[in-house]
Amino acid sequence: MSLQCDYLPATGNAQQELVLLHGWGSSREVWRPLLARLRPWANVTLPNIPGCAIGSASCAVPELNDVLAEILQCSPPHAVFVGWSLGGQLALELARLEPERVDAVVTICNNPQFVASEAWPGMSADIFRVFREGMAINPSATLRRFHSLQVIGASSPRRLLRQLQIPGDIAADALLTGLGWLEALDQRGLLLTLRQPQLHLLTEGDALVPAAVGLNLAACMAGNSSGQVVMLPETCHLAPLDSPAELEQHIHQFLPSMGGMQRLEHALPQLQKKDVAASFSRAATVYDSAAQLQREVGEQLLTFLDRYQEAPGIVLDLGCGTGHFCAELKNHFPQAQYLGLDLAAGMVEYARSRCDESCYWTVADAEALPLASESVDVVFSSLAVQWCYRPEHLFAELSRVLRPGGLCVFTSLGPDTLCELRNAWASVDSHQHVNTFLPTADLMAAAERVPAIEMILQRSAFRMEYGRVRDLLDELKALGAHNMNRSRPAGLTSRRSLQGMLQAYECVRANGLLPATYDVIFGVLEKT
């Protein structure tokens, strides 16, 4: 079994880790409207759950414990688990099995005993049996009926129905397994004994989970002070699609009240992406004339592609710049479609004008790729990663867009880059005159937080030599790689400071030349 999982870091200051578990006959896409509201304050893990997802593989009918184990494997060590419909029951099971890892549980439109009994409201056993038989005989028609029930009570049911797609090839065996879980799970007794905070969000218009379940839930948790039940008016079973704003509001209010919010480590960006894009756009037409180091590093990185033994369909040149490596990538993978992507619009326009017309080009940020999940086989990225100040976002996006077995080879610059220039400036003032880049430890820590990837790094020092310091500074300007950090000095550098720096740099002259060291990090990232 292979569980698909996306990790989406917070777009603002992360205060919580959330794991979102979708319901039966759905997929993780049901959470998309809610993501824009959650990600300003939360990191989100988004699995596609076998046995529940309409895209489950027909060749693998998972056991419930195996599914729960895979969910935990791709989840952070500590998180709040949010489950919709059957996903709510999975969240409760995880809280029971791994109380040290589940900080709180939020269920949405969930019935802890879905099939009704004399003492508990739900779907009648006869209707459930007919539904299960219909799923085995005619899954497409049964799913259409299921979708029509889900939108009852919605403000705009037709709009919601248009968002619900039924695939041509339905893995009925896997979905029947999920129905078996739905029929068997009875978690009423668990509600009182769980020590984690619980929030149960129900809707008045739900045609699958009767509103009366709310009263029964409250009765079950009468002795549990950390449990809450909230009834949402004027929405349906598909609350994540129909009422994302209301859901986010209740979740965001509940977690602080239960002590479930914290300020996770979050570094302020050292660079403004718009500054990086503008600088490299201006340098597009002269970049290649000064890019000796970039060519040497890129040529060495190309040899790492030999690790990929398949015939890729899509090759992404991430941070393609002027498209210098386009031809070599096409030669290496002649059957693949080449896609060049760069943050700088000027670079992309220049590359498009000089490269093969069969190539595709786009302007985008590597930390927010405009590409479908599992759409890319190979990523080549030479000396672009150092401009990503949140590597966790980058690695999460690479994990998302790479197909299983996919490969990314990349280079970045490490913190010892231009150490001679940095030391020379340090002798005259305390300002930051040289760009700061992340060390390998930070890159590895970021990658370890992202599921489904394995990464190895190695460092290599590249030594460039110049007759004058001015030659180095002019080259950095021509490359668009001059100092762009927030803490750079404001205004023009004084003549006295500049002269002091030049004199200090002369102390490292050897054999008539001034060295400039580049701390280059080579990375290989594989999607498992």
- The domain limits of the chain are 4-257, 273-415+437-463+518-527
CA distances from 340 to 227, 302, 326 (A): 51, 16, 8
Residue 495 pLDDT: 86
Query: 268: pLDDT confidence band, cut at 50, 70 and 90?
Result: very low
Query: By percentage, how much of the chain surpasses pLDDT 70?
Result: 93
Catalytic residue (one of 206, 288, 342, 519): 206
Query: By percentage, how much of the chain surpasses pLDDT 90?
Result: 81
- Give per-residue pLDDT as tens, 368-388: 999 999 999 999 999 999 999
Judge if 4-257 and 273-415+437-463+518-527 fold alike in CATH terms.
yes
More confident residue, 269 or 292: 292
The per-residue pLDDT of the chain, averaged, comes to 92
Catalytic residue (one of 85, 279, 281, 382): 85
Residues 309-336 have a mean pLDDT of 97
Q: Is the pLDDT of residue 138 over 70?
A: yes
Residue 165 pLDDT: 79
Residue 272 pLDDT: 81
More confident residue, 477 or 86: 86
Residues 317-329 have a mean pLDDT of 98
Q: Is the pLDDT of residue 239 over 70?
A: yes
Residues 62-88 have a mean pLDDT of 94
Distance CA 35, CA 147 (A): 22
Q: Is the pLDDT of residue 54 over 70?
A: yes
Q: Alpha helices of 371-489 — where are they, by DSSP H?
A: 391-401, 419-426, 440-448, 469-479
SS3 123: strand
Asked if 206 is an active-site residue, the reply is yes
Query: 171: pLDDT confidence band, cut at 50, 70 and 90?
Result: confident
Q: Is the pLDDT of residue 440 over 90?
A: yes
Contact 191, 227 (CB under 8 A): yes
Residue 62 pLDDT: 73
What's the predicted TM-score (pTM) here? 0.84
Q: Is the pLDDT of residue 61 over 90?
A: no
CATH 3.40.50.1820 fits 4-257, yes or no: yes
> And the tokens for 7?
């990790």
Distance CA 436, CA 485 (A): 7
Give how far the C-alpha of residue 58 lies from the chain's centroid of Cα atoms, to the nearest Å: 27
Asked if 427 is an active-site residue, the reply is no
Query: 222: pLDDT confidence band, cut at 50, 70 and 90?
Result: confident
Distance CA 99, CA 94 (A): 8
Query: 266: pLDDT confidence band, cut at 50, 70 and 90?
Result: very low
Q: Alpha helices of 116-243 — where are they, by DSSP H?
A: 125-137, 139-150, 157-163, 172-184, 190-193, 212-220, 239-242
SS3 43: strand
Distance CA 326, CA 472 (A): 27
Contact 381, 408 (CB under 8 A): yes
Distance CA 352, CA 360 (A): 8
How many residues are given for the chain?
Answer: 528
Residue 489 pLDDT: 58
Backbone Cα Rg of the chain: 27
Letter for the amino acid at 197? P
Residue 482 pLDDT: 67
Q: Which CATH architecture has domain 273-415+437-463+518-527?
A: 3-Layer(aba) Sandwich (3.40)
Catalytic residue (one of 22, 147, 200, 237): 237
Look-up of token digits 């300002």: 431
Q: Is the pLDDT of residue 1 over 60?
A: no
> And the tokens for 520?
């280059």
Residue 492 pLDDT: 56
Asked if 237 is an active-site residue, the reply is yes
Residue 270 pLDDT: 56
Q: Alpha helices of 42-166 — where are they, by DSSP H?
A: 64-73, 86-97, 125-137, 139-150, 157-163
Residues 174-195 have a mean pLDDT of 93
